Amino acid sequence: MWQGIYGHDDVVDRFRRSLACGRLASSFLFLGPEGIGKRTFGLQLAKALLCTGTAENELAACGQCESCRLADAGNHPDIDLVQAPEGKRILPIELFVGRKENRHKEGLCHDLSLRPMIGRRRAAIIDDADFFNQYSANCLLKTLEEPPAGTLLILVGTNRSRQLPTILSRAQIVRFQPLGVDNLSRLLLEQGHVENSQDAQRLAVESGGSLTLATAQAEMGLEEFQERFHRQFSIESLDGSRLASMITEFVTDAGSEAESRRQRLRAVFGTAIQALGDHMRANVADAANDPDQVARVLAALDRCQQAEVQLDRNANQSTLIECWIDDLDQILTPAGTKI
């Protein structure tokens, strides 16, 4: 465990090697599943690099200096955290170049051009990097291409397919793996999401290493839904109408708040991806004998990932559910077997 973060010691070693060689880049793109600690890692990395109580190449914050105390309090003047505004799914250009009446005199790009006030460098963590649009990404290009000396810029996303080419070509990609079962179980217990180790282990396994998904499962009663989903979600014979009705009921039970419904539908897509993956693993020995089915399952996985992207882009949820289920039915049903 590095600075309170479980499961990413290999990434810590990568940064330590870069520092030892004096070759730390200025721009990084952190990729990996949601809820595995990428943003927290970025904040702790910035804290360690700006710490004035230890040597930079040690990558270990002392926790006692003024810089560390301000970082822990979340108000360090040399560390910026940029996120999509509440209720929004896009990073607006104002976050980077300021409001129209004060353009280029405020915003992240302006702040990064200033000299550090306390630490050895300035650092910025851009969460929700999956939600750049062309305009907000273009505002950041000059900073990515010619960053001010000593700048550390970290973009946090989920997977490569959601990133704009202009971002991919200008940042070093750092891949994060899902949390291991033991580490995730420990986190669930420490944070009080479950009361016993048995529930923690079960959620850790079912969530695929994501703390976000595990806590959502604990809070929304996802286990019961998953059992019903697996009974209806047959690779060989998909009952699309009944499945769509069940999913719609589960999503609307979250209430009228859009984000709560979005979280439930994202959990549905995650459940489908897990079911398809389980099917692939269970039938790996038969894959060579039925390559067509393997191709169909892979296409279904791609469609599930597309649905996640469409959800993040604020697609109408009822329409999204219907289209997604219909597409899966078309993909998974072998040609010539439909009645």
* Contacts with 291 (C-beta within 8 Å, 6 or more apart), sequence order: none
Exposed / middle / buried, residue 29 (Cβ in 10 Å: 0-12, 13-18, 19+): buried
pTM, 2 dp: 0.78
| Domains along the sequence of the chain with CATH | 9-175 (3.40.50.300), 221-332 (no CATH)
- Tell me which residue of 109, 102, 174 sits closest to 137, measured CA to CA: 109
Residue whose pair of structure tokens reads 């360090």 in the numeric block: 76
> Hey, what are 209's tokens?
């290493």
Asked if residues 188 and 194 have their Cβ atoms less than 8 Å apart, the reply is yes
* Contacts with 63 (C-beta within 8 Å, 6 or more apart), sequence order: 72
> Hey, what are 141's tokens?
């290009």
Ordered per-residue pLDDT tens for the chain, 339 residues: 899 999 999 999 999 999 999 899 999 999 998 899 999 999 999 999 999 999 988 999 999 999 999 999 999 999 999 998 887 778 999 999 999 999 989 999 999 999 999 878 999 999 989 989 888 999 999 899 888 888 999 999 998 988 989 899 999 999 999 999 999 999 999 999 888 999 899 889 878 888 988 887 787 777 788 888 888 887 767 788 889 999 999 999 888 888 788 888 988 998 898 888 888 887 766 656 667 888 889 999 999 999 988 988 788 999 999 999 999 999 988 755 554
Secondary structure of 242-254 as H, E, C letters: HHHHHHHHHHHCC
Q: What are phi and psi of 155, to 5 degrees?
A: -105, 135
